[in-house]
Structure 1
């Protein structure tokens, strides 16, 4: 499906350039207004219902009902072979648990098929004197059809192999591209603060690391595929998708976050355009004069 077809249903987007289309508005209404079966990959991290500045805290039942609604809309938007990656943190279930992984509360409330749980281990985080310090979140990988989905392991192999030259019967035992990264991903959080702020940090208070999204997009999509992020936030999904040659559609409610995302995406696309305007000339690199 062409992105222009989607824009005919939702009207003028808040931003559109080079295969990136961002809409300002509620993702549930937006996804329900669009045709079925156009997103090859849905990857997102919605509000955790823990009182962040960008969310209205709901009763647990209301929050789970709302989560079921938007996941259902995302399922409808997905192609027959579509995939869905969901990152959610923890919340308290009164009388039952202090830090219950939210995805565990949703396992039977999604029409997708749960393919695998990935543990995102990020090293830094809050501390505690009466429990072990939390240092991971769950990222659940769902597919629409468990027998037919795209997966490119070679694109995300880990080159850090302990014995890269190990052989058996004279044949190399290890894939020369590296090993399977496994289901525990050691990827640092996007940190903030004086002298410890990540290079990719934006003003958004809960930002995805690009490395996490990059691995998902590379493994689960082909160049030109459409990636959907219903909760665009700071624009990480769109920025990474554009850098990797995928198209992206996103929804965001807040103007300030949209401005952050647009600024970030514009910078990336401008840089890519500049790089594409360089040609090799007698062993030297020179910019092309686009004006003539």
Structure 2
């Protein structure tokens, strides 16, 4: 990994400044949730159903929820439900997240596609959720990637959606300078003697080209874990940096392999993960511990 993007977030808190107010807010939240399966100074993992755990989260505690729920397509970690039941289930936990979110907080939701008999081969899940989400939809981000299913009778699918929801359409966190794209075609171009572009970089737009985490002999990504559906760390880092405040509290209610917590620790956010499967909690905990060991060796 490019050392330039690694923040010293895994070093013990005593070696860097600590936002005492943020730490106290984090500890208060953990006290409300109870004993975690594992934790560190700035993160905690809870083994349990996110809906039940969300009922313990005090209202207005979360700055950002960033997650990718099951898509109801038969993966090993989910039970396929009738579509109406699946949408009701999604609406349930999204409403619980809304209650737990700060007044200027957000939900960044990664969702894919499902089939509807006699209606659609592949319909984006957001189309089925559009009137069930209490948040304000600020923007749809298209996550474009290269690897995927090779199709013959339709276009090969190469994108998923990231829905950026905010609680207050007039006041929300957006750290554009932290996620600018430095690849500017004409960085020195001027108009009337002034540079036409930001010296930090350009707005990355609402289409993000980020590689998926691949598997298989000879082609597996370096960050690959045993989890079958893993968030790319690059996607997590851009999302965490762009849509949560420094020292903010980030939740992933479907933690999986722990990518969200990994990204949060690299960029000095507090993070909490809910995961219903005990084996996935163990995968995430080991991944985070390994990242801590590797990063600590750089200092």
TM over 0.5: yes
Match of 1:72 in 2: 95
**1:115-264 counterparts in 2 under 5 A?**
115-264=138-287
List structure 1 segments (4+ residues) > 4 angstroms apart after TM superposition. none
CA distance in 1, matches of 2:50, 2:165: 19
**Bigger CA radius of gyration:** 1
Contact 1:243 1:268 in 2 (8 A): no
In the TM superposition, what whole-angstrom CA distance separates every residue of 1:40-96 from its partner, at most 9, and x where no partner exists? 000000000000000011000000000000101111111011111001110011111
Aligned counterpart for 1:54 among listed residues 51, 73, 77: 77
SS of match in other structure, 1:120: strand
Q: How much has 1:222 moved relative to structure 2?
A: 2.2
Q: How much has 1:183 moved relative to structure 2?
A: 0.5
CA distance in 1, matches of 2:242, 2:34: 32
What are the ranges of 5 or more consecutive residues in structure 2 without an aligned counterpart?
1-23
Contact 1:242 1:269 in 2 (8 A): no
Q: How much has 1:270 moved relative to structure 2?
A: 2.8
Match of 2:66 in 1: 43
SS of match in other structure, 1:2: helix
In the TM superposition, what whole-angstrom CA distance separates every residue of 1:183-211 from its partner, at most 9, and x where no partner exists? 11000100001111001110100000011
CA distance in 2, matches of 1:24, 1:149: 30
Higher relative contact order (CA 8 A, sep 6+): 2
In the TM superposition, what whole-angstrom CA distance separates every residue of 1:195-231 from its partner, at most 9, and x where no partner exists? 1100111010000001111111111122210000000
Q: How much has 1:108 moved relative to structure 2?
A: 0.9
Question: How high is the TM-score relative to the length of structure 2?
Answer: 0.90
Q: How much has 1:8 moved relative to structure 2?
A: 2.4
Contact 1:166 1:172 in 2 (8 A): yes
Q: How much has 1:6 moved relative to structure 2?
A: 2.3
Question: How high is the TM-score relative to the length of structure 1?
Answer: 0.92
CA distance in 2, matches of 1:11, 1:228: 15
Match of 2:15 in 1: none
RMSD: 1.1
